[in-house]
Chain A
Amino acid sequence: MAIVVLLAGCDGRPWNNPYPASEDAGNILYASFEERPKHLDPARAYSATEYEFIAQIYEPPLQYHYLKRPYTLVPLTAQQVPEPYYLDQQGKRVRSADDARAAYTVYQIDIRPGIRYQPHPAFARDAAGQLLYHHLKPEDLASRHTLADFPERGARELVAEDYVYQIKRLAHPQINSPILGIMSEYIVGLRDYAATLEAAYQRQAAAGGKPYLDLRDYPLAGVQVLGRYSYSITLQGKYPQLLYWLAMPFFAPLPQEVEHFYAQDGMAARNITLDWYPVGTGPYQLTVNNPNRQMVLERNPNFHGESYPAEGDAGDREAGLLADAGRPLPFVDRVVFSLEKESIPYWNKFLQGYYDRSGISSDNFDQAIRTAGDGDMRLTDAMVTQGIRLNTAVNTSTMYIGFNMIDSVVGGLGERQRKLRQALSIALDYEEFISIFANGRGLAAQGPLPPGIFGYRDGASGINPQVYDWIGGMAQRKSLEVARQLLVEAGYPGGLDAISGRPLVLHLDIPASSGPDDKARLDWYRKQFRKLNIQLIIRNTDYNRFLDKMDKGNAQIYIWGWNADYPDPENFLFLLYGPNGKVKYHGENASNYHNAEFDRLFEQMKNMANGPERQRIIDQMLQIARVDAPWIWGMHPKSFALSHRWYHNSKPNLMANNTLKYVRIDPGLRSELRRQWNRPVVWPVWVMVAGVLLLIVPALIAYRRRERHAPTHGTGRD
Chain B
Amino acid sequence: MGAYLLRRVFYAVPILLGVNLLTFMLFFVVNTPDDMARMQLGMKHVSPEAIASWKQAHGYDRPLLINLQARGMDTVTETVFFDKSLRLFAFQFGQSDSGRDIGYEIGQRMMPSLAVAIPVFVIGLLVNITVAMLLVFFRASYLDIGGVVLLVVLMSISSLFYIIGGQYLVGKLFQLVPISGFADGVSGWRFIMLPVAIGVVSGLGSGARWYRTIFLEEGGKDYVRTARAKGLSELSVLFKHVLRNALIPILTGAVVVLPLLFMGSLILESFFGIPGLGSYVIDAINAQDFSIVRAMVFLGSVLYIVGLVLTDISYTLADPRIRLT
Q: Which residues of A contact B (CB under 8 A)?
A: 3, 6-7, 14-18, 20, 35-36, 38, 46-47, 145, 173-174, 176-182, 198, 268-271, 273, 275-276, 290, 292-293, 338-342, 344-345, 348-349, 351-352, 354, 542, 544, 547-548, 565, 586, 588, 678-682, 684-685, 699, 702-703, 706-707, 710, 712-718
Contacts and interface: CB of A to CB of B under 8 A. Distances in A.
B227 A15 contact: no
B45 A588 contact: yes
Interface string B90-101: 000001001111
B315 interface: no
B176 A181 contact: no
7 contacts: A173-B53, A176-B50, A269-B95, A270-B101, A271-B104, A345-B271, A715-B231
A718 B273 contact: no
A180 B270 contact: no
A74 to B, nearest CB: 25
B232 A703 contact: no
A712 B53 CA distance: 84
The majority secondary structure among interface residues of chain B is helix
Interface stretch (B6-14, B164-172, B206-214, B249-257): B164-172
The 10 closest A-B pairs by CB, nearest first: A714-B231, A716-B230, A292-B275, A18-B181, A18-B178, A544-B35, A293-B275, A345-B180, A681-B174, A181-B47
Contact of B174 (A18, A174, A684): A684
Contacts of A339: 273, 275
Interface string B183-224: 100010111010000000000000000000000000000000
A36 B279 CA distance: 12
B234 interface: yes
B115 to A, nearest CB: 13
A352 B179 contact: yes
A542 B193 CA distance: 39
B143 interface: yes
Interface in B225-278: 227, 229-236, 240-241, 270-273, 275
B316 interface: no
B75 interface: no
Given A544-B31, A679-B175, A703-B137, A174 B99 contact: no
A16 B175 contact: yes
Contacts of A699: 134, 138, 143
B99 A344 contact: no
A178 B51 CA distance: 10
B54 A710 contact: no
Given A345-B167, A716-B232, A15 B176 contact: yes
B173 A681 contact: yes
Contacts of A349: 178-180
Contacts of A348: 167-168, 171-172, 179
Contacts of A35: 283
A544 B174 contact: no
Given A544-B30, A716-B232, A293 B182 contact: yes
Given A18-B191, A715-B231, A716-B231, A681 B44 contact: no
A680 B169 CA distance: 12
Contacts of B193: 3
B156 interface: no
B40 A38 contact: yes
A7 B176 contact: yes
Nearest to B32: A544
A341 B181 CA distance: 11
B48 interface: yes
Interface of B: 30-32, 35, 38, 40-50, 53-54, 57, 95, 98-101, 104, 108-109, 134, 137-138, 141, 143, 164, 167-169, 171-183, 187, 189-191, 193, 227, 229-236, 240-241, 270-273, 275, 279, 283, 287-288
Nearest to B282: A341
Contacts of A702: 138, 141, 143
Contacts of B53: 173-174, 176, 198
A interface, by DSSP: helix, strand, loop or mixed? loop
Given A269-B101, A292-B108, A547-B38, A542 B30 contact: yes
A14 B175 contact: yes
Most buried by B among A38, A345, A685: A345
Contacts of B46: 178
Nearest to A50: B42
B40 A292 contact: no
B293 to A, nearest CB: 15
B262 to A, nearest CB: 15
A446 to B, nearest CB: 24
Contacts of B231: 712-716
Contacts of B31: 544
A680 B167 contact: no
Contact of B270 (A7, A145, A341): A341
A574 to B, nearest CB: 11
A9 B47 CA distance: 60
A712 B229 CA distance: 8
A706 B53 CA distance: 78
A178 B234 contact: no
Contacts of B173: 681
B41 A342 contact: no
Nearest to B190: A15
